Chains A and B, each alone.
Chain A
Amino acid sequence: MTEISTAQPIDAASAPTSGQRIRAGTQVYMYVSLIIVAAIVVVPLISTALGGFKTLGELRGNPFGLPTEWQWSNYTDIIISKRYWLQMSNSLIIALLTVFLTLTFGAMAAFCFAHIRFFGANHLVNYFLIGLMFPAATAILPLYIRIRDLGLIDTYWGVVLPQVAFGMGMSIMLFRNYFRNLPSELFDAAFVDGCGYMRFFWHITLPLSRPIIATVGIISFVGSWNSYIVPLIMLNSESRYPWPLGIMIYRGEFSTEWQLVLAFITLTILPTIIAFFLAQKHIIAGLTAGAVKS
C-alpha cells in the first residue's frame, strides 16, 4: 500500500501509447532487416578489401577473417604502378565525358518534354524510354558498325557516345519527372519577369535541380565506371583501357595471385564509393522527388 501511495503519478504525456509501442516494434524489425540487407551487400566488399591484405595461402585458408599479417605491399605495388594511374585516367576521362554529355543533353531534352507542348512529344518520350529496356550488349554489333563507320574505333568517343545514348532514357525520365514537379507558378513568375525558355532553364530550373543533377550524374558515372562490354568492343589499345578491362588483363597476368586481383578490384571501386557518399544526400532526394506533396 505504501508503495502505491508514494508512487509518482503517471504523466499522461510521457506514458507510452500503443502507437509508440507499435513504432518501437516496427523500428526493431526495420533495423534487423536493414542489418541483414547491409550485411549481404557489405560482406563481399569487406572480404574483397581484406583479401587484398592477405597472402595467397591465408586467403585460401581464411577467406573472411582479418589478415594475421597485413600485406600493405599488395596495395602499394599497384598504386605506384604506371598501369594503375593510366587506367584510372582512362576511366575518369570516359566517365566524366559520359556524365557531362548525359547531363547536358538529358536535362535539355527533359526540359522540353516537361514544359513545351509540341506534336508527337509523348511518342518521342516513349521512344527514349524504350531505350531503358535494352542494354548496350543487345545492340553491340550495329553499334560497332556505326562507331567504325564514324571512325571512332579505339577512341574515347567510341565508348562515350554509346554510353551517353544508352543513358539517355534513364536521364530523361528522371529529369522530366523532376522538372514537371517544380511549381508551375515559378514558370509564370519567371515569364512575367522576362525569362524565355532558355533563361528559365538556366536561371531557375538548373539551380533548383541540384539533387536530380547529382542523381543522374552519379548513376551515369557509376554506369560508365563499371561498363565492360562497350569498351571491350570499341577499344583495341591497352593504353586506352579503363579499369574493367584493366582488371581483366590484370587477372590474366596474375591468375594465381588472387590477393593481388582483390587488391586491384578494391582500388578500382573505391572512387565510386567515395563519389556516392559525397553525393548520397542529393541522390536520395533526387530519386524520391515528387513522391510526396512538399
Chain B
Amino acid sequence: MGGYVLKRILVTIPTLFGISVVIFFMVRLLPGDIVAVLSGADIGNDPELVAQARENLGLNGSYPEQYWRWISGVVQGDLGDSLRNTQPVSEVLLNALPITFELVFLGLLIAVVVGLPLGVLSAVKRDSRHDYAARVGGLIGVSIPNFWLATLLLLFTSRVFGWVPPLTYVPFYEDPIENLSQFILPAIAISVFTLAIVMRMVRATMLEVLGQDYVRTARAKGVRRKVVISRHALRNALIPVVTVVGFEVGILMGGSAIVEIIFGLPGVGNTLINAIFNRDYPVVQGATLLLAFIFIFANLLVDLLYGVLDPRISQE
C-alpha cells in the first residue's frame, strides 16, 4: 500500500511540471502584457519607458529564460511576486485558498447531506412519484448553469426577504454567523450540480446492490429492511459518493470561479480569472499549479479511500 502511494505521488510530479510549462507559455500567448494593460488606452507611452518597465517586472529575456527563473524559484518554495502590486504570490494564494476551500466544503456538504438521503429514498421507492420527481429534479439540477442560479438566488433573497449577503469576508473563526451568511447562497449555488449527481449515483448503486443475491438472502432470512439498507446497501453506495465528491473537489476549486465573482468572494478562482485578464503571469501560474495540485491530490485520496471502502479493490 505504501509503495502504491509513493508511486502515485511520484507520477504526479512530471504532470505538475508539464502543467507549469503549458500554463507558462499559454498565458504569455495572450495578447498584451501587464504593462499594456495598465498603461494602454489612455496614456501615450515612450517605448523606452515601456521597455524599462518590462525589465523592472522581469518580463525581459526569452521565454525559456523567464521560465527557468520562475521554476527554479518554485521548487525552492518561492512562487514569485504579483506583477500588479508586488505582493508575494504565496501570500495571495494563502489569502484566497481558505475562501474557496470553505465554499467548496459547504457546497459539497450540502450536496451530500441532501443528495444522499434523496438518493436512498429514490432507490427504495423505485418508480413511485417520489422516484420520478427525484429523477427529474436530478436532471434539472445538472442542467442549471450555476452562475444563473447564483443570480436567481440573489434576486430572490433581495426581493422577497430584502436581504443581501454581507459584503466583507470575515473568517469563520472570527464571526461564524457573519461568515456563514456570506457563504450560504454561493454554497447553495454550487451544491446543486453535485447534489444531483450524488443523488443519481446513490440511487443507481443502491438499486444495483439491492438486486444482488446476498441482499435477497438476507431478506429471505428475515433481516429487517432498515438494517439491510443501512448496513449493506448504504456502505456500498458510499463508494461512488466518495468518488464523486473527491472528483468534484478538484473540479469545483476552479469551477466555482464564476460564482465567486458574482458574490464578490476573493477566492482562488476569482483571483485566477482576474489575474488572466490583468496578465499577472506569476499569479496565473501559481494559482493554476495550486488548483492542479489540489485536483491530483484529491483524486489520489479518493483512490486510497476507494481501496479502504471496497475491500474487493484493494486486493488487486
A and B are interacting partners:
no
